[in-house]
Each structure stands twice: as C-alpha cells, then as structure tokens.
Amino acid sequence: MIIIMKHDATQAQIDYVVAKVEGLGYEAHLSAGQERTIVGVIGDDRPIDPGNFQPIQGVENVLSILKPFKLASREMHPMDTVVDVDGLLIGGNELVIMAGPCSVENRDQLLETAHAVKESGATILRGGAFKPRSSPYSFQGLGEEGLELLAEARHETGLKIITEAMSPEQVPVVAKYADIIQLGARNMQNYELLRAAGRAGLPVLLKRGLMATIEEWLMSAEYLLSVGNERIILCERGIRSFESYTRNTTDINAIPVVQELSHLPVILDPSHSTGKWEYVTAVARAGVAAGADGLIIEVHPNPEEALSDGAQSLRPERFAELVGQVREVARAVGRELIEPEWTSKTPA
C-alpha cells in the first residue's frame, strides 16, 4: 500500500501518518518527490484497511501496490533513482562505462588495463578478487591481495572500483576496498548475502540470475532495498536458453521492461551475455539504443593468456573502438557518456 500525501501536506501531517503506519506494525518508507511525498507501507501480507488513512488531514489518496516488489516499483517511487557513487552519478542522462579484467591476476595486468580503459572513456574499473567458477580447479582469484591491487589502481587512475562479494563473510573485506559491491548471477537469490551487502553502506550492483525472471530479479533487489539501501543498480547479463552459439542470450527486452516497472537504474553486460568478444560491441550498441544506463565490459591486455573469460574479453584497442561507437549511439538517443576525470596521478 502507498499513501499519497497532498502537495501542501505539512511535515507534522507526514510524521503523523508514519507514526500510524508503525503503530500498526508495519514499516514506513518515504519517497519525497518534487510535488508530493509518498509513504510506502511495507510488511507482511495482512490486509490493511485504507480507511485507516483516508480521513487523515494531508492525505490525498491511498492505493494498493499489486506487484510483489514494493520498494523497487514505480508506484512507490515514480521518479528515476540516480545512484551517487562518491560524486559519480549512475542513472541520469549520462551513461557510465565500467571496464576491466574478469579476474585480477597480477599488478602489471591490472594497472595496464586500468590506464587503458580510462584512456578510452571508462570511469569505473571492474575486476574480480573472489571468483565464482564452475570448476573447483579453475583460478579462484587472489582474494584480499586482489582487492589491494584494485585499491592501488584506483589511487593511480582515479577510477571507482567495482568488485564481487560471494558470501556474507566476504562483504566486510570487499566493502573495505570497493566503491560498489557486485553480486553475481549465481548469487542473485542468496538472501543472506543480499542482506549483508545491502547493510554494508555502499552501492550494490545486482546481476540477473542465469534463469531468473524479471520479477524474481526485482524481488532480489527488494531484499537490498528492504534493509535501507537505496543505491541499487540492476545489471542484465544474459539468460540461459537453448541457443549454443553464444554463452547466454542477451535479453534486450529486459532493459525497457525493467525501466517501466522499476525506478532503479539498469546497465548491460554484453561480455557475459554473448561470451564471445566478436559480438560484444554490437550488443553494447543495442543495449544503449534500448535505454541502458551504462555498460560493464571485460577488457584484458592479452585475452589468450587470461586466467578466466578470455574468450569474451576485448583487447584495449577494441574497447576504445567500442566506446567510440557507443558514444555515437548515445548521442543519437539524446544521451552522453560520462567522461573520466583526469588527475595529476594519471600519466599524461
């Protein structure tokens, strides 16, 4: 249920409604727009009589939210959410590009990639320190050593850092180094991890599960929102289908659908959704044309030597070409790319 306050409702009237919601045993979530404040009533499935609120001074209307994802819905939060990552905004008119290697392998590899992706236009460096792999014998990441290398790359380049946490126990150490916590497709419905990441105090990027419906994806975002974290970024990364010529099937449909259903920003991962570097640029262009708020791209200086996902990783020069093409598509649909900030720490 949502309680829509009148445009001239006083703070005292809003506070009274919030107190009444909490007195009934529910949580009250406020969404303050330019014209009106909306009070969301969040809790169990007990029916609520709208008559409890309709006669209250300052209340304009009381509506039921039919969708199971309450906090993620447009009804609760009509305006687009713009996620602030220490001054870098995700979800506005400008598009963000996150780029870097699948795995942090060593210092030289990471720093070379970080400087290259910034030179081409990325503003966020991606790189895995903890790697969820299908085989227990595959490279599992450098752990905290990899996080330290990411922090060094941030110091040298000024790029923000996004990296994955795989378990609730890993969240504190990842939060110590990262600017954004990534939750991977395999962990989309790891509910204890969702709660832990949501409480960490950082923005969270939530990837869609391999076989998750859009509703299931948004319900996972609801877990993050329900613990008080409003800085959530959704990431479409392809879903599993019967097709075998690509690693996954890119669900371009999901971008406009999610933007209609939810206020949260959504970006596209064309690397995982195709699994082959040859298709990454074309799908990246399509994602931006469909309205994605950004891209996350895998880049490696020597893909044939990569310890993970080399087949879908772009060489730096190909990444530069991708950014150039994506910039033109963005302009064609009335948007721009966020440009990197250059500092004295970055070589000329």
Q: Which helix (H) or strand (E) holds 123?
A: none
DSSP states of 178-218 as a string? Answer: -SEEEE-GGGTT-HHHHHHHHTTSS-EEEEPPTT--HHHHH
- 189 lies in which domain range? 83-337
What integer pLDDT is reported at residue 133 of this predicted model? 67
Residue 319 lies in a domain: yes
Quickly state the pLDDT bin for 346 (edges 50, 70, 90). Answer: very low
Is there a single domain that holds both residue 44 and residue 169? no
Is there a single domain that holds both residue 164 and residue 216? yes
**Percentage of the chain exceeding pLDDT 90:** 79
How far apart (Å, rounded) are the C-alpha atoms in residues 232 and 255?
15
Residue 77 lies in a domain: no
3-state secondary structure of 98: strand
Is there a single domain that holds both residue 226 and residue 100? yes
Strands 124-126 and 160-164, by their bridges, are parallel
Q: What are phi and psi of 181, to 5 degrees?
A: -95, 125
Residue 75 lies in a domain: no
Compute the residue count for the chain. 348
Is there a single domain that holds both residue 101 and residue 249? yes
DSSP letter assigned to residue 195: H
Name the β-bridge partners of 100: 298
Is there a single domain that holds both residue 169 and residue 254? yes
Average pLDDT, the chain: 93
* Cα torsion through 90, 215, 273, 133, rounded to 10: 100
Q: pLDDT at residue 61 above 60?
A: yes
Residue 170's CB is within 10 A of a number of other CB atoms, namely 20
How far apart (Å, rounded) are the C-alpha atoms in residues 100 and 104?
9
Of residues 28 and 124, more confidently modeled: 124
Name the β-bridge partners of 207: 235
Looking at the structure of the chain, the number of domains it has is 2
Is there a single domain that holds both residue 229 and residue 173? yes
Residue-wise pLDDT for 143-168, tens only, equals 999 999 999 999 999 999 999 999 99
Residue 348 lies in a domain: no
Classify residue 143 as left (phi > 0), alpha (psi -120 to 50) or beta: left
What integer pLDDT is reported at residue 31 of this predicted model? 80
Q: pLDDT at residue 280 above 50?
A: yes
DSSP letter assigned to residue 305: G
3-state secondary structure of 208: coil
Is there a single domain that holds both residue 57 and residue 92? no
How far apart (Å, rounded) are the C-alpha atoms in residues 207 and 221?
10
